[in-house]
Structure 1
Amino acid sequence: MEPKVSHSDLVIVGAGPAGSMAVSWASRFALNTRLLDDKPDKVHNGQANGLHVRTMEILDSFGMATQINKLAYHLREICSWNPDPDDESRLQRTQRILAKVEQHGRFCQLGIYQGFIEQNFLDFLESEGHVRVERNIETKCLQLDEDNMTDHNAFPINLRISRQVPASSGDTSDTNSDPSAEEIVKTKYLLGTDGGHSWTRQQVGLEIAGGKTKVHFGVMDVIPITDFPNIQISCAIHSAKTGSMMTFPRENRLVRFYVQLGETGSERDDLDTDQVTIEMIAEKAATILSPWSLKYELCDWWSVYTVGQQCAPKFDKDNRVFLAGDAVHTHSPTMGAGMNVSIQDAYNLMWKLGQVIKGTAQPRILSTYNDER
């Protein structure tokens, strides 16, 4: 049986923050767009944690800022805690930085979990009615018709896909079709927003440069039970002998802890990240915070990450296949840097790509995406 063949202006692979931002622009332009994701659902817990002011301005232009602003923690104060010079076993607050009154704009840096951001994008798409996420989709093969890559009216990109399980409730695909049936999607443009292990990037042969250090942090989102006086304020906490951590309050009484765990292969410590547990992260956090006590009522999410940065030398293939977000650059997941840059990537690209597809801008404008990002 021959696979079904369909045509699209744009296919986006990956429905995280970057893909969601991109498809929101595509919906605004009323482009013939497919948004494909290999996961069964959106993020529900943890992951990226913060929104920067510029990102909030972008989201505001799509009518999403008000709901996010209501729920999120507003970062307008940071405290620094360091060892007491008279008694290293104790901590003292050494600095308190408050935003100046004249800096109190409509938006500030916010603490909010990634899943809430993604849900706002999904609500926007639902209200627009043009595009919805297709879940449980496997991308199997990508072929480029090199002879037609410069013809921006052609469909030079052939993407072979298949559905791994029957369609989810939020999917618009034909749920009566064979769930394992393959489809060939012919598209004018392809955008890969499929994360740090990007399948799209691998298919077009782009290498990502850089690497990771041997420094590891544990991250946990918990409802803390503690007598630490500044638990409701973002803090950088440095102990004399047991390491450092950062705290960042979140919605619904949650606090995110970034806890320094150790270094792989160092003389003092040989940390196996596969053996780390939430109990180990919580115990290390309590040790750093001592003599104040720290327990938790609920753990919403936890993980371990390794400090490192990576970036590809270019973000496109012949101005027909593009990459955005973690697919083309990765960041240490602290304070939402990755999510914010990802959303801004997609915003920058899609206002240009939308106008090119609609015929109101020349294709050469697409080259500015690399220059500006």
Structure 2
Amino acid sequence: MLSHVIPPPRGYTKAPNSLVRHPRIGSDAKVLVLYVQGLPEELRDKALGEHARALRMTGRAYQKAKADLVSHGYVHERRESVAGGRWRTVQVFSNEPLTDEQAARLRAGVPADGYENAGACVAPDAWPAPSAHSPTVGEPTGRRVGGLLPADEEQGENSSHPPTEAAVEAEGESQDQDQAEVLLAERVLLSLRHKTRELSLGVREARKLAALAAEWLRRGVSAGDLRLALSSALPQEGVRSAFGFLKNRLVEKLPAPPEETADLLVAAESAPPPHPPSPLPPSLPLLACDGPGEEHMFRPHESWVTTCGPCHREQQRAYWADLMACAEAEPAPPRPSWRELAAEAAANGGVTCAEEASGYGTRATAT
């Protein structure tokens, strides 16, 4: 690669190489740091979300950039209570990573161990004491840093009972964990293209489905099991839309929460045992078989049975064999020829003996 770099004579911003070359901070976060650092002092006194909107950064991109900056020490946030039961969020921004102790020193107006000019957001002064005038008013003050939340952040409700510091820290840890689960779910969705080309997703499509996939991770499903559940047992006719197919599978096959599964197991263990099957009817006693051969015993299936199965079948074969032998021993009488039938009919007035016996040859005679 050929490069030609000319340093600008004016209007530039110095950026540390540790930030520009940081492998785990996204480009949106780096641009946001450079943008805020390059603003005049009087224009920095805004919430970080307002600077992101000035860069036309979308809400999703801003949240990811902010999470990168917070996790690596470039942005520190703290909620504080003020007079009148109100709350404010103070943001401390720096172009160099700061520890929590250094950020606290900046909020208190003390240089952060050599970073006298590092903080772009300076901690506000103490709120003025209210006067005796009715209605109560104070001295006019300038704009307070971090007094307003960005528009794309959730507004907290005012409460006369402020949350404890432990609750605030727990809420922050929960938000960080949720963000990590969403990012992991997004990577799992994008990795499905390596399983099969039918499940290839774009970055925006994966971000739209990341919240649904993150719910699987919250319910105890590992990233590998999630990838296997989404990529296995594909329809034989193929996948027309990877986005629609994965969205339907994430919703329809969502596993039950661990609490519900544990309740079902406890209910199954505490359920009464099933009713035992009804006992079989008592069997009949053994009887001596009436068939031929040596004497032997059998258990009849009905009270009227006197022979066992083999003997009964042998008796049936012998019976039918006797019938066939008798039929063969008595041959059938020969059939008369047609000449004999005609002569017989002429002697009997046109009726044969067979017809006369059957009644079909009866004729009506005139009287």
In which range does the TM-score fall when normalised by the shorter chain? under 0.3
Which TM-score applies when normalising by structure 1?
0.20
Q: Which fold has the larger relative contact order, with Cα–Cα distance below 8 Å and residues 6 or more apart in sequence?
A: 1
Higher Cα radius of gyration: 2
The answer to which structure has the higher helix fraction is 2
Which TM-score applies when normalising by structure 2?
0.20
